[in-house]
Amino acid sequence: MAFEGFKKRYAPLEEELLILRHEGGGGAKHGDFWVASAYFLAYIDVKTDILHKGNGRLVWPITE
């Protein structure tokens, strides 16, 4: 998978979040870039100050 294909899978929206991390995560090579991930237990949307409880995972691309 090329970076552009990865980028098209997600909305072009950026949000600022305060995350309570959980153990686990990692990275993997996908064609011409890396994909990192981290698990979380809860987060606060900084814009609204609303606490969201529940497990989740963040995924983001990293270029070399």
Give the chain's mean pLDDT: 87
Cα 12 vs. chain centroid, distance in angstroms? 13
Q: Which domain holds residue 33?
A: 3-62
For residue range 14-42, list pLDDT tens digits in order.
889 999 999 888 988 888 888 899 999 99
Percent of the residues in the chain that have a pLDDT greater than 70, as a whole number:
97
**Rounded Cα distance, 11 and 4, in Å:** 13
What is the tally of structural domains in the chain? 1
pTM score, whole prediction: 0.70
